[in-house]
Amino acid sequence: MIKRLLQMMLVLFVVSVIVFLMMSFTGDPVFMVIPIDSTAAEIEQARRLLGLDQSLFSQYWIFLSNLLQGDFGRSYVFRQPAMDLILERLPATMEMVVVAMGIATVIAIPLGVYAGANPNRAASRSIMAASLFGISLPGFWVGMMLIFFFSVRFQFLPSSGRGETIEVLGLRLSIFTADGWSHMILPAVTLALATLAIILRITRAGMMEVMRQDYIKFARAKGASRRHILFAHGLKNALIPVVTIFGLQLGDLIAFATITETIFAWPGTGKLLIDSIYRGDRPVIVVYLMLTAFIFVVINFLVDIVYTLIDPRITVK
């Protein structure tokens, strides 16, 4: 546990150093916030206000010492605490990702089990062919098509935005309103598609592998029902890689749902990241990527715990 915690600190430290170094190559953020025809004196004043008048090293030192006091720095552009900007947008993203992962899992696992257990049936082949579309169709195209058909053509679902939200435990959530759901469906489906295809293919591959094992034959011989064989003996043993991919995808969607968020004007964090990159808003980028690294570390830890539940032979060190 302690070793993991130290590893995490190291990861976060490295991320912050890399972002600091990288951002020093992407142009001077001061020109993103002041009028172009500002005089040298006005530019100096702006630099001072933003804390950019210090050397890169001392800027990093200030960042670190503030960090230890729980201050993650302020956005150059918004002039607000960077962490607040991210946390304010995080519920919207989390909500969409959870729904998308839900859709993906509920559809992908049964289909993957079916296709893996009956690899030669026509239905399995069509499932596999369809999953190729899921992997290869770009999200922005899928999103635009969904908007075109369901919003513009059939006027059935709204094209963009988050709809009505209500506050639950201080978080602004839309999954508790019908209007919120109607706004949620299209972006969640768009986001789910690629993950669905990947999980489906991994499940199938795992199942095909497992179904050849002796213990499956033995289970059949002892007369266990087909359903029991598939899910209790088969799926359980095929799940390890599925859980791994699930964790990675989850982290990926939380951090980088940028394209889907932009297309559906979804007020989430991905859009904040891309805007901040365009604006050279280093404080937001640093905190964002550190938070992302943190989320990945946590998810990986949870994945390891899930391993032990699936396979008691594995232990978490």
Partner 1 sequence: MMNLRMIATKGTLFAGALLLSSTALSGLVDAKSLTVGLTSDAVNLDPQAGEELSSNILFYHIYDPLVRRNADLSFGPGLAESWELTDDTTWVFKLRKGVKFHNGQEFKASDVVFTLDRLKKSLMANLGANISSFNAIDEYTVEIKTPRPYAVLPNDLAAVLILNEKYVKEAGDETADLKPIGTGPYKLVEWVKEDHIALESNKDYYAGPAKLDSVTFRPITNGATRTAALLTGEVDVIQDLNVRDVDRVKADDRYKVLSQPSLLNVVLSIDQREKSPTIDLDKNPMVDHRVREAMVRAIDVGAINKIIMNGLSTHSEQYVPASHTGYLDGASFRDMYPFDVEKATVLMAEAGYADGFTVTLDATNNRYVNDQQIVQALASMLGKIKINLKLNLMPKSNFFGYIRVPSDKSSLIMSGWDVPSGDGGSMYSVMFYTRDKKEGYGQVNRGSYSNPEVDALIDKADATAKLDERDKYLQDVTKILMADIPMIPIHYEQDLYAAKTNVDITPRADKFLWAYDIDVKE
Are the beta carbons of 135 and 252 closer than 8 angstroms?
A: no
In the list 88, 179, 209, 252, the residue contacting partner 1 (rule: CB under 8 A) is: 88
Separation of alpha carbons 16 and 22, rounded Å: 10
- Confirm or reject binding of residue 161 to partner 1 (CB under 8 A): yes
Residues 204-243 that bind partner 1 (CB under 8 A): none
Residues 255-294 that bind partner 1 (CB under 8 A): 262-265, 267-268, 271-272, 275, 277-280
Q: How many residues bind partner 1 (CB under 8 A)?
A: 55
| Residue 107: φ, ψ to 5° | -85, -40
Could you tell me the smallest distance in angstroms from the CB atom of residue 228 to partner 1?
48
Are the beta carbons of 170 and 182 closer than 8 angstroms?
A: no
Element (H, E) at 181: helix 178-211
CB nearer to partner 1: give 76 or 114: 76
Stretch that binds partner 1, among 54-62, 88-96, 242-250, 294-302 (CB under 8 A): 88-96
CB nearer to partner 1: give 21 or 152: 152
Residues 164-193 that bind partner 1 (CB under 8 A): 165, 172
Site string for partner 1, 58-77 (x = CB under 8 A): -------------------x
Tally of CB atoms within 10 A around 163: 15
**Sequence-separated (6 or more) residues with CB below 8 Å from residue 172:** 91, 92, 165, 166
Could you tell me the smallest distance in angstroms from the CB atom of residue 257 to partner 1?
13
Are the beta carbons of 46 and 39 closer than 8 angstroms?
A: no
Could you tell me the smallest distance in angstroms from the CB atom of residue 227 to partner 1?
44
Q: Where are the alpha helices (DSSP H) in 212-312?
A: 214-221, 226-228, 236-256, 258-263, 269-279, 282-310
- What is the rounded radius of gyration, in angstroms, for the C-alpha atoms of the chain? 24
Residues 7-46 that bind partner 1 (CB under 8 A): 26-42, 45-46
Could you tell me the smallest distance in angstroms from the CB atom of residue 189 to partner 1?
15
Could you tell me the smallest distance in angstroms from the CB atom of residue 83 to partner 1?
14
Conformation bin of residue 84: beta by default, left when phi > 0, alpha when psi is -120 to 50: alpha
CB nearer to partner 1: give 167 or 214: 167
**Which residue, 60, 87, 15, 25, is CA-closest to 272?**
87
Contact residues for partner 1, defined by CB under 8 A:
26-42, 45-46, 49-50, 77-80, 85, 88-89, 92, 144, 147-148, 151-152, 155, 158-162, 165, 172, 262-265, 267-268, 271-272, 275, 277-280
